[in-house]
Structure 1
Amino acid sequence: MKKLSIIIPLYNTPLPYFKECLDSCCINDEVEIIVVDDGSTLNYENLLKRYDLKYVKIANGGVSKARNVGMLLSTGEYITFLDSDDVFILNQSVLDFLNKKNIIIARNFIMSQSTIENYYLYDKSQIISQSELKRNMFLLSNRSIDCIEPVWSKFYLKSYLQEYGIIFNERLRRGEDVIFNYEAYSRTKSVFYCNEFSYKYRMTNMDSITRSFDKIMVITTFQLLEEFEKLFRKLNTVDENYQYYVWRLVIRLIRKYYVYLSKEEFNTKVNLLFSNIIIDHYLNMINHAELDEYKKQLYEILVIKDKAQLYSYLRDVCDKKLLRK
């Protein structure tokens, strides 16, 4: 049995990026590389034949489908996931930690065209309790949440995932990592945090496009909330910190309005946002003493005041109330 299976969903990734990705996985004989091609139109044959790996091509079904197929094909004791344009920084010391817990979280950094940012939870390797991990998933700042929410830089004991039937939700097109990890974190007593780098995330121009506001973003946001409600019922649990996560998603949508829309479009869409019965449903289910007053103030600033004041207000709310540690 291999020590680690690296599952790489592939869809039309530029050849230079994909080559760098594969090169970074060639560590030693303990590592198994699995590439699941999600219906790419690019020809990778000449590149793939240079590597010792498993390759399967499927009809386009999304990243969740590709990851689930990869999990079925895997033979490693542990499983990890790598995007086909990203890079592993996986040394022997990280592999040596793969006997500590059901889940291991490692450090990562995000690289754009102009900057490199490090993302980590703690200054040293340590055990994290389930309660602390789940609480942090909903309350941490953006820099720290990128260590917890995504599946990259995580290592999962395969037998643990199989025991509880933890797979990716193929209905979701956004937020599939969050649902997967929340269930994975909820089934174990604790995880091990490894203060070693294991992942380099490459931020491309396509990331900027997917961060822009569109109708699909609204739909997928509420699909994610619906799936969270289903998961809570499945786990027979209620997370008291979930209310802050709902607010964070709503504020994220509002920030998209602020950045990408003209004044007229901005006012129109904000009015629709606050009259939308779906959003009202999620806002009303939050048991928060200041909800009505907060919503009123936010609405007045959104519609009546200028955008600079809106940005300042939202930033203050996020920093002081919603994303506090």
Structure 2
Amino acid sequence: MDKISIITPVYNTQKYLKRCIESVLSQTYSNIELLLIDDGSTDESGKICDEYANKDSRVKVFHITNGGPSRARNIGLENATGNYILFVDSDDWVDNQFVSHYLCDNYQDYDAIFGMWDIQTNKGIYNPSILDKPYIGDDFVKGVIELSGKFSFELNCNKMIKTEIIKKHNIRFIEGIHSNEDDIFTYDYARYINKFIVLPEAHYHEIYLDEFDRHLSARILPIETIYTTNKMSVESALKISNNPLWVEYQNERLFYRLASSIMKNITHGNHKISSKELKKYIKDAHMMRIKYNKHLVNKHRSNHKIWSLVYDIVFAFENVSYVRFCSKLVSLIKK
């Protein structure tokens, strides 16, 4: 039986942590280890981790000074002793088939096994991915483009990966950045994927308390942060392949990320930005929209054509006042 290492960074999540830990330890597949990386928590999270380590020998706890989730995950990678690695965030939970469903038929033949997840809100359960049967591929780039809008490959918590590949190629999360660390890590790993499978079942449950909970509010980061880390993501992606369609896809994705950040900062952001600086970002977004417009990203989403048109309209011109007006209008319509 292969051993599965589950890495969970922990930072001030005492309210949700017990639910998370107990859900992992209740797996029907028992040959696991849970690595809890207490990232300098100032609440009772560290104590809770120790309590479970004292009760279950499969739990390993590492107390470190606060360095962010990337550093915490890297500590987990360095100390993992399993054959495969999974990630679980400490404020989410998994059902008892989470591990076993990754151990699908011939799972050892795959360099990565991807799985669905759902988002649980006070308004109900939302599944951001739509796939009705397994997808098997030997070309990661082709798979990402074909499934765009049906499945997002770049999240940490939706894949089981091989420890052997991680250690052989010294793949780590980039520390010190506050966005897109998942994407970059996934693309760095994907350079060594020869065969993969995407499974259609969701056994990972992400919790959103409301529309502006602890997750979403943190996403309105400064435009420069989003733009810089997304360009890093594109650089990592293009190390996998220089296929022209992949280049188009990644730059179109960069446009959407930059454009979304501009619109969010205009309507909801607390980060002060001058009109001169905003104009620079709007110009870049406008030029990208002209150059990369094959509409490959999220092409399978039901509202893809509508939102593609919205972005076309908002960034049709470089004028700051025009983009401000359109962004606020879109925000009002969404409400």
Normalised TM-score (structure 2): 0.76
List structure 1 segments (4+ residues) > 4 angstroms apart after TM superposition: 232-236, 268-271, 279-287, 289-296, 303-306, 309-312
Matching of residues 188-207 of structure 1 within 5 Å: 188-204=193-209, 205-207=213-215
More displaced 10-residue stretch of structure 1: 253-262 or 124-133: 253-262
How far did residue 234 of structure 1 move? 5.2
What does residue 288 of structure 1 align with?
Answer: 291
Matching of residues 1-325 of structure 1 within 5 Å: 2-15=2-15, 17-26=16-25, 27=27, 28-41=29-42, 42=44, 43-44=47-48, 45-52=50-57, 53-91=59-97, 93-97=100-104, 98-128=107-137, 129-135=139-145, 140-141=148-149, 144-145=150-151, 147-204=152-209, 205-211=213-219, 213-214=220-221, 217-228=222-233, 230-231=235-236, 237=242, 239-260=247-268, 272-276=277-281, 280=283, 284=287, 288=291, 295-297=315-317, 299=319, 301-303=322-324, 307-308=328-329
Go from structure 1 to structure 2 and tell me whether the alpha carbon gap of 1:36 and 1:187 turns closer, same or farther (over 3 Å shift): same
Distance in 2 of aligned mates of 1:80 and 1:306: 38
How far did residue 225 of structure 1 move? 3.1
Distance in 1 of aligned mates of 2:201 and 2:313: 44
Go from structure 1 to structure 2 and tell me whether the alpha carbon gap of 1:302 and 1:222 turns closer, same or farther (over 3 Å shift): closer
Aligned residues: 299
How far did residue 36 of structure 1 move? 0.8
Q: What's the CA shift string for 1:45-71, capped at 9, x where partnerless?
A: 335423331111111111111111101
Distance in 2 of aligned mates of 1:229 and 1:289: 14
- Identical aligned pairs, as a percentage? 23
Distance in 2 of aligned mates of 1:289 and 1:119: 25
Q: What's the CA shift string for 1:102-139, capped at 9, x where partnerless?
A: 100111111122221123342012303312234258xx
Distance in 1 of aligned mates of 2:289 and 2:55: 54
Normalised TM-score (structure 1): 0.78
More displaced 10-residue stretch of structure 1: 166-175 or 217-226: 217-226
Check whether the contact 2:267–2:328 (CA below 8 A) recurs between aligned residues.
no
Go from structure 1 to structure 2 and tell me whether the alpha carbon gap of 1:237 and 1:167 turns closer, same or farther (over 3 Å shift): farther
Go from structure 1 to structure 2 and tell me whether the alpha carbon gap of 1:121 and 1:103 turns closer, same or farther (over 3 Å shift): farther
Go from structure 1 to structure 2 and tell me whether the alpha carbon gap of 1:225 and 1:100 turns closer, same or farther (over 3 Å shift): same
Amino acid at match of 1:105: F
SS for the counterpart of 1:195 is: strand
Go from structure 1 to structure 2 and tell me whether the alpha carbon gap of 1:232 and 1:67 turns closer, same or farther (over 3 Å shift): same
How far did residue 153 of structure 1 move? 2.0
Which structure 1 segments of 5+ residues have no match? 316-325
How far did residue 236 of structure 1 move? 7.0
Check whether the contact 1:108–1:118 (CA below 8 A) recurs between aligned residues.
yes
Which structure 2 segments of 5+ residues have no match? 294-310
More displaced 10-residue stretch of structure 1: 291-300 or 27-36: 291-300
SS for the counterpart of 2:164 is: helix
Amino acid at match of 2:8: I
SS for the counterpart of 2:136 is: strand
Check whether the contact 2:180–2:233 (CA below 8 A) recurs between aligned residues.
no
Go from structure 1 to structure 2 and tell me whether the alpha carbon gap of 1:153 and 1:293 turns closer, same or farther (over 3 Å shift): closer
How far did residue 6 of structure 1 move? 0.5
Amino acid at match of 2:328: K
SS for the counterpart of 2:153 is: coil
How far did residue 93 of structure 1 move? 4.4
Distance in 1 of aligned mates of 2:181 and 2:329: 33
More displaced 10-residue stretch of structure 1: 253-262 or 175-184: 253-262
Distance in 1 of aligned mates of 2:330 and 2:179: 30
What does residue 319 of structure 1 align with?
Answer: none
Distance in 1 of aligned mates of 2:82 and 2:53: 20
